[in-house]
């Protein structure tokens, strides 16, 4: 069973704090995702282009996910949403071959592996979708998240100074990491690795 196969969801995953369920986000999850978003520290939301604590933004996100315009996973522990991941693409842009991965987790489960499980699941789904390049962005102080993506082969591509402003007016830098999937895949093929691991 591949993490990259969307048909394998919902599925269970073990974390340090027990077990979580990963599933595709849908309209039935709106109330639980809203509660999750509102409980997040504002700083954790700054790398997202829109404020998911706003009802209209959340509704648009769910509608886009259900329509198939993006893939969104949620991590559920008990009955509580403790994390979300999304793979965002824009087939009508000049970059239809590029996908952005966004991952955010609840403060209550930090250090338990929820972020790692969601990141690996989103990365695997993005790879299986045929995207040629993946990007992720976050504030520069999110050292754990940066290290996690670097461990998957992402490399820093840009630093956007004073790129986002929080509700108090303070500006923050954003780092953009990229992963050239097509280049890595062609290198693996040159060394015969896909057939060895496939």
pLDDT tens digits along 35-89: 999 999 888 888 888 889 999 999 999 999 998 889 999 999 998 999 999 999 9
- The Cα–Cα gap between 128 and 125 comes to 5
Note if the bond before 48 is cis, omega within 30 degrees. no
Tens digit of each residue's pLDDT (9 = 90 or more) over 116-154:
999 999 998 988 888 899 999 999 999 999 999 999 999
pLDDT of 186:
63
Give percent above pLDDT 70 in the chain.
90
Instruction: Please say whether the dihedral angle defined by the alpha carbons of residues 102, 105, 110 and 114, taken in this order, is positive or negative.
Output: negative
- Please check whether residue 47 lies inside any domain of the structure: yes
Segment 1-27 shows an average pLDDT of 83
Q: What is the pLDDT of residue 68?
A: 84
The overall average pLDDT reported for the chain is 87
Report the CATH number that the domain containing residue 111 is assigned in CATH: 3.40.630.30
Q: Domain for residue 91, yes or no? A: yes
Confidence label for 190 from pLDDT (cuts 50, 70 and 90): low
Is a pLDDT exceeding 70 seen at residue 194?
Answer: no
User: Does the pLDDT at position 184 exceed 90?
Assistant: no
Please provide the distance, in angstroms rounded to a whole number, between the alpha carbons at the two ends of the chain: 12
Residue 33 lies in a domain: yes
Query: Do residues 117 and 19 touch, judged by C-beta distance below 8 A?
Result: no
Flag whether 132 is in a domain: yes
pLDDT of residue 37: 94
Q: Would you mind telling me the total number of residues written for the chain in this entry?
A: 198
* Residue 60 in domain: yes
Q: How many domains does the chain have?
A: 1
Q: Which residues span the domain enclosing 49?
A: 6-197
The pLDDT of residue 44 is 85
Are 80 and 100 a contacting pair, CB within 8 Å?
Answer: no
> What is the pLDDT, as a whole number, of residue 185?
60
How much is the pLDDT for 45?
Answer: 85
Residue 24 lies in a domain: yes
In a domain, 1, yes or no: no
pLDDT more than 90, % of the chain: 62
């Amino acid at each position: 069973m591949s993490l990259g196969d969307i048909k394998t969801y919902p599925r269970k995953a073990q974390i340090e704090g027990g077990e979580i369920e990963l599933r595709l986000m849908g309209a039935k999850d709106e109330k639980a995702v809203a509660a999750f978003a509102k409980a997040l520290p504002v700083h954790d939301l700054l790398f997202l282009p829109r404020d998911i604590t706003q009802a209209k933004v959340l509704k648009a996100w769910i509608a886009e996910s259900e329509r198939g315009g993006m893939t969104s996973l949620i991590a559920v522990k008990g009955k509580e949403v403790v994390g979300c991941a999304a793979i965002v693409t824009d087939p009508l842009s000049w970059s239809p071959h590029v996908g952005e991965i966004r991952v955010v987790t609840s403060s209550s489960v930090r250090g338990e592996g929820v972020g790692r499980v969601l990141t690996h699941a989103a990365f695997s789904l993005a790879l299986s979708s045929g995207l040629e390049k993946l990007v992720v962005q976050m504030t520069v102080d999110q050292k754990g998240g940066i290290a996690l993506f670097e461990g998957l082969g992402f490399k820093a591509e840009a630093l956007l100074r004073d790129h986002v402003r929080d509700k108090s007016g303070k500006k923050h830098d954003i780092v953009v990491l990229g992963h050239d999937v097509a280049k890595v895949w062609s290198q693996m093929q040159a060394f015969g690795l896909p057939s060895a691991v496939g």
